[in-house]
Structure 1
Amino acid sequence: MTHRVRLAGRETVFEVSPDETVLQAGLRHHLALPFGCQSGGCASCRVRKLEGLVEYPFPPPGLSAAEVEAGYILMCLARPRSDLLLDLHQPPQLDALRPRQLPCRVQSRTWLAHDVLGLSLKLPRGSASAGAFTWMPGQYIDLLLDDGRRRSFSLANAPQVDATNPTLELHIRVAPGGRFAQWAAHEMPERAILRFEGPLGAFYLRDDAARPTVMVAGGTGIAPIHAMLEALTRDACERRVYLYWGVRAQRDLYLHERLTQWSRRHAWLRYVPVLSEPEPGWDGATGLVHEAVLRAHPVLRGFAAYLSGPPAMVRAGKQAFAAAGLDADHLFYDSFDYAHETWPGMA
């Protein structure tokens, strides 16, 4: 049986066939819906169900118990069993940022750390598509390979103001088994031409200055949060931001100097690096990064929280922060397992 889906606060109504998920039907109707892995892991397609019933082929792995209790569903897995009313929980301006496939040129490669490569991409100068391309700080792109596979990377910089050919900054962890990362680091031709699709994802900075904000990054999960902070440093930021960056050792803090300077320059920002395997002489925070947050902020009621990085860190943070009083409506996250889902065997 076909069911109708309405989007709260909008005039949009679309129909879902019995053999479709909510996301499949919405994309078939050319709607700008948030999505990522389409397998339930990344939770980019998380929306709140205000009315109606859905069913899943299996419990949605990307949602915590607190999110399910708050009424959230994953559109990529949910199949309607009645008409639905959904709240996209996203600003109207995101509707205009429909993902597109575009070419770009590698402008530069820079080693940011012993195992992190910075990749700077440039869209074609004078191209109408380049001038129109923008994103919300925190979103990501998919690099497209000739064989149809993809590699997902967060955009580590905020959009440039009035840029006719914007620069896209990526942070690539170069692991021994990472075929694309190894190719990019050691074999990619100078000024190589790549293609990408974007902007993608529902992880972006919300306009909510009234709430103090905790930002938690693990490893290269600092990339999208760096983009958010870069955007905040350009404006008169009115929110209090507490940044916690968890890595193994000091050599992994490849943005430490910049973040330290920002925290000294801007009274609204406090930056806390956290090492899980500290060297002798380290007198800063240690252990798991989400636990460092809770030591400083045992009660998170009234906060907003952004988490980005390894799946285990995101899952632990979501559960612990919910137990500390953080409500699901102000919890935003980007779990980096999406790359493994879209490029099996390559990440």
Structure 2
Amino acid sequence: MEVSVLPLRRTLEVRSGENLLETLRRNEVPISYSCMAGRCGTCRCRVVSGNVLVTGAAETGRPTADGQSVLACQATLVEDCTIEIPEVDEIVVHPSKIIKTTVVGIEDLTHDIKRVRLALSKPFSFSAGQYASVQFAPDLVRPYSMAVTAGGEEAEFHIRIVPDGRVTSYVATQLKLGDAVRLSGPLGTAYLRSKTTDPVICIAGGTGLAPILSIVRSMAEQGVAYPVHLYFGVRSPRDIYGIEWLDELKARLPNLTVHVVVTSTNEPGPYRAGVVTDAVKHDWDSLKGWRAYVAGAPAMVDASTILLRQKGIRAEHVYADAFYASGV
């Protein structure tokens, strides 16, 4: 049985019943992976032709259709097929870890956003823009994006407190300095692509600023020279945070331009009024040749993704991990 791999134009001889990710790794085909269990999404690829069986827990035995996206770690090879993997310059490999941490900081960023800092018991490797599963107690687990870059002694998360949310209510009322918290990951595919010089647009909504901060902080560490436009959308002036961090990043990245957009405001001030996607639509006739990172509520992420593609950014160059509010 043969598997053709695009864009490498390689053909692999395999046996029926083999796992796709294991086959790619054995043949030294470059592909991102982390958790190996279908949770992180980093080994996503596309079935161009032929069939594989999706073997995830919820979909065991489901055949694919041409053009369908699958996770390589959850795909079983059953016939000749053609698989398209991400561009080589997008490959990252951070084997999934479970890390014990200790709460060393809790502070208010806004009226409903907490900054939680965790001291790491050992190094935690991730790419800027990824997130982790944060477990505060056995039944209190939620994904949150890292707001800092890898290599430090702490992880940092920005957590919006949701009324009656189980996890966020615990963070607001019971979490304290010295508490033990478990991290697992990293997870997510909206990580910084470091081997490109294409200009970048970032769109963040609310606490979606956290992964965007991680991405732009990593750009500053790398000293990138390409243009970066960061749009930060919030509901009202009291939801704005992180301005001092953004000012610091502007000083380190001369080509960084920051746009803060407030949906509901009658107050004069330095910020733009309106919806963040409308601001992007107004500012740009074309974004052809650009790359984009988007983070925030699913509705904002979906609207931004559609707009950016309309403005000329290739679909595969719009990187986004939307978070849903279940179990908050």
Place the TM-score, normalised by the shorter chain, in its bin: 0.7 to 0.9
Query: How far off its partner does 1:151 sit?
Result: 0.6
Superimposed CA distance per residue, residues 59-81 of structure 1 (whole angstroms, 9 cap, x where no aligned partner): xxxxxxxxx99x56143897867
SS of match in other structure, 1:136:
coil
User: Which residues in structure 2 correspond to 1:42-121 (within 5 Å)?
Assistant: 46-53=44-51, 73-75=69-71, 82=79, 83-89=81-87, 91=89, 94-95=92-93, 97-121=94-118
Provide the aligned C-alpha RMSD in A.
3.7
Distance 1:271 1:35, change over 3 A: farther
Q: Contact 2:133–2:185 at 8 Å: present in 1 too?
A: yes
Indicate if the aligned counterparts of 2:32 and 2:42 stay in contact, CA closer than 8 A: no
* Contact 1:47/1:75 (8 A) holds in 2: yes
- Unaligned runs of at least 5 residues, structure 2: 26-30, 55-64
**Matching residue of 1:59:** none
The 3 A distance-change label for structure 1 pair 234 and 315 is same
The TM-score with structure 2 as length reference comes to 0.80
Query: How far, CA to CA, are the matches of 2:262 and 2:280 in structure 1?
Result: 13
How much has 1:7 moved relative to structure 2?
7.8
| Kept in 1: contact 2:35–2:95 (CA 8 A) | no
Q: Aligned partners of 2:22 and 2:319: how far apart in 1?
A: 23
Letter of the structure 2 residue corresponding to residue 103 of structure 1: K
**How many residues of Structure 1 are paired with residues of Structure 2 in the alignment?**
311
Structure 2: how far apart are the matches of 1:11 and 1:103? Answer: 42
- Structure number with the bigger relative contact order (C-alpha 8 A, sep ≥ 6) is 1
Does the 8 Å contact 1:7/1:13 carry over to 2?
A: no
Kept in 2, the 8 Å contact 1:209–1:238? The answer is no
SS at match of 1:113: coil
One-letter code of the match for 2:182?
R
Shift of 1:167: 0.5
Contact 1:44 1:334 in 2 (8 A): no
Could you say which residue in structure 2 is the equivalent of 1:157? 148
Instruction: Output one character per residue of 1:97-146: Cα deviation in whole Å (capped at 9) or x when no partner.
Output: 1111121111111111111101101112xxxxx13x21111111101365
Q: 1:3, 1:16 within 8 Å by CA — same for their partners in 2?
A: no
Matched, 1:216 2:207: no
Q: Assess if the C-alpha contact under 8 Å between 1:5 and 1:15 holds in 2.
A: no
Partner of 1:259 in structure 2?
246
- Mind listing any 5+ residue stretches in structure 1 that lack a counterpart? 57-67, 125-129
Q: Paired residue for 1:191, among 160, 178, 184?
A: 178
- 1:137 has 2:118 as partner: no
Task: Give the alignment's TM-score, normalised by structure 1.
Answer: 0.76
Is structure 2 residue 213 aligned with structure 1 residue 203?
no
Whether the aligned pair in 1 keeps the contact of 2:294 and 2:319 (CA below 8 Å) is: yes
In the aligned structure 2, how far is the partner of 1:12 from the partner of 1:178? 49
Give the SS at the match of 1:298: coil
Letter in 2 for 1:73: S
Q: One-letter code of the match for 2:280?
A: V
In structure 2, the CA distance between the partners of 1:148 and 1:184, relative to structure 1 (3 Å rule), is: closer
Question: In 1, distance between residues paired with 2:13 and 2:92?
Answer: 18
TM-superposed deviation, 1:194: 1.4
Task: Compute the displacement of 1:89 (Å).
Answer: 3.8
Shift of 1:26: 9.0
Question: Helix, strand or coil: the match of 1:118?
Answer: strand
Could you tell me how far 1:290 is from its partner in structure 2?
A: 1.8
